[in-house]
């Protein structure tokens, strides 16, 4: 309706005012140098925010009822909040991103519902505890995988596109935001089995695990073929796994790049492998991840798992560009072991922000900055997985200010 369209227009207007600022062009240059050359300085981003704790001024309250447009509204409101209140090196594409519409938005579940018990302390927080129920006991359980196709809902997309043209005309260009493929198989398996059970299976039942990984990889490759045939992958957002991926200015791609996997990024990880040896990574991750990464232009590898003792293995994966240096890592050892062509993507410890200990935050950041400088590694500092700031939104403002001061000196 007209009222809701006006809300979107107003938000888009505010978004574009930020997106066209000269400061954004400067940040673009810094990111391009960081991603393609030797980098000018460490870069800073903040993502995966506990939004339910942030709405002190009411600016995050949504008013739109139509589900698709509510999602666009939420994204715009959150981006505007970041630009106003969380200092960082965030760069905004100079257009409104419209998420592609899939016939099955949950295709990545492989058609298997997670069985679990959950527990939580804050009913508004999406970060909760899970106890997973084992679903794979024998080879025949592979039949439980019943994946749907990766397929755009072209009729619905046509309607949305026409509506978007009417809404944003004269205010902002629009562009489809394609699929960002999560290529980490082990995160999914651990939700089907439970982490402890996975560890026992690695020891006692390697054959069923290899069979499961092989089957999942075949399904992933089929999805990649389907996505490529429809140009479904993301080439517009300039972000992968909370990191900016720009290699040229947004203004130099006036037409969207074809949405193929070769033009896109993917991200992979095997987080529970923090508990196993590099040999297990070599046997149970590398062969499968390699087949998937082969198909993508660029890869961001790692998440919260400590990779310090297996960076040589990670570097051997196809098309890896950035590697996560987790809060559990030793930045000194990580920087010294990371091959120089890779970016050190340092994860600031979100627990320190949760506790509001800014001295500890400074120490945490300084350790990474010193380590990267000593080894001459390109460094990005990313604060993510922030499950709480104890309802003190100003802590993220303080983090951003502090981090930027430190990297600019």
Structural domains in the chain (count) = 1
Residues pairing with 381 in the sheet: 44, 346
Distance, in Å, from the CA atom of 169 to the CA atom of 6, rounded to the nearest integer, reads 12
Give the Cα-Cα-Cα angle 307, 309, 313 (nearest 5 degrees).
75
Average pLDDT (158-175) is 98
| Cα–Cα distance for residue pair 361/398, rounded to 1 Å | 10
Percentage of the chain modeled with pLDDT above 70: 100
- The predicted model scores a pTM of 0.97
Q: What does each C-alpha distance from 4 to 8, 62, 64 come to in angstroms?
A: 6, 10, 6
> Region 398-403: what's the mean pLDDT?
99
pLDDT over threshold 90, residue 255: no
pLDDT at 273: 97
Alpha carbon distances (Å) from 327 to 304, 331, 345, 389: 7, 9, 11, 17
How far apart are alpha carbons 18 and 84 in whole angstroms?
9
pLDDT value of position 137: 87
Mean pLDDT (the chain) is 97
The percent of residues in the chain predicted with pLDDT above 90, rounded, is 97
Q: Confidence class of residue 253 from pLDDT cuts 50, 70 and 90?
A: confident
The tokens for 187 are 């995160």
Q: Provide the CATH number for the domain around residue 47.
A: 3.20.20.210
Candidates 226, 243, 221, 228; CA nearest to 344 is 243
pLDDT of residue 325: 99
State yes or no: pLDDT of 37 exceeds 90. no
pLDDT digits (tens, 9 = 90+) for 193-217: 999 999 999 999 999 999 999 999 9
Question: What range defines the domain where residue 136 resides?
Answer: 2-408
Average pLDDT on 294-308 reads: 98
Query: Would you tell me the crossing angle of helices 195-204 and 185-193 to the nearest 10 degrees?
Result: 100
- pLDDT-derived band at 26 (thresholds 50, 70, 90) equals very high
């Amino acid at each position: 309706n007209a009222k809701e369209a006006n809300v979107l227009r107003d938000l888009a207007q505010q978004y574009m005012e930020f997106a066209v600022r000269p400061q954004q062009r400067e940040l673009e240059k810094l990111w391009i140098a960081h991603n393609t050359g030797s980098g000018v300085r460490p870069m800073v981003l903040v993502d995966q925010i506990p939004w339910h704790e942030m709405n002190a001024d009411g600016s995050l309250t949504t008013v739109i009822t139509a589900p698709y447009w509510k999602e666009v509204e939420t994204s715009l409101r959150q981006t505007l909040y970041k630009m106003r209140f969380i200092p960082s090196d965030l760069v905004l594409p100079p257009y409104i991103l419209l998420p592609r519409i899939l016939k099955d938005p949950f295709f990545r579940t492989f058609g298997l519902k997670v069985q679990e018990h959950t527990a939580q302390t804050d009913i508004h927080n999406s970060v909760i505890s899970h106890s997973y129920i084992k679903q794979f006991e024998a080879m025949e359980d592979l039949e439980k995988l019943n994946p749907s196709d990766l397929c755009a809902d072209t009729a619905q997309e046509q309607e949305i596109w026409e509506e978007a043209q009417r809404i944003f005309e004269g205010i902002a260009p629009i562009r489809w935001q394609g699929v960002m493929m999560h290529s980490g198989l082990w995160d999914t398996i651990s939700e089907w089995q439970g982490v402890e059970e996975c560890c026992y299976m690695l020891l006692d039942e390697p054959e069923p695990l290899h069979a499961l990984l092989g089957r999942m990889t075949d399904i992933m490759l089929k999805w990649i073929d389907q996505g490529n045939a429809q140009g479904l992958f993301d080439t517009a957002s300039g972000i992968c796994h909370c990191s900016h991926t720009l290699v040229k200015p947004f203004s130099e791609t006036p037409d969207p790049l074809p949405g193929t996997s070769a033009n896109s990024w993917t991200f992979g990880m095997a987080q529970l492998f923090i508990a196993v040896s590099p040999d297990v990574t070599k046997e149970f991750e590398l062969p499968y991840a390699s087949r998937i990464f082969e198909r993508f232009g660029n890869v961001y590898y790692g998440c919260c798992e400590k990779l310090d003792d297996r960076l040589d293995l990670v570097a051997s994966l196809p098309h890896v560009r950035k590697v996560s240096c987790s809060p559990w890592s030793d930045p000194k050892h990580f920087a010294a072991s990371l091959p120089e062509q890779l970016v050190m993507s340092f994860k600031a410890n979100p627990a320190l922000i949760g506790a509001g200990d800014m001295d500890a935050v400074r120490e945490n950041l300084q350790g990474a900055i010193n380590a990267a400088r000593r080894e001459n590694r390109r460094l990005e500092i990313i604060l993510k997985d922030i499950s709480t700031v104890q309802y003190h939104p100003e802590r993220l403002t303080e983090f951003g200010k502090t981090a930027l001061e430190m990297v600019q000196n």
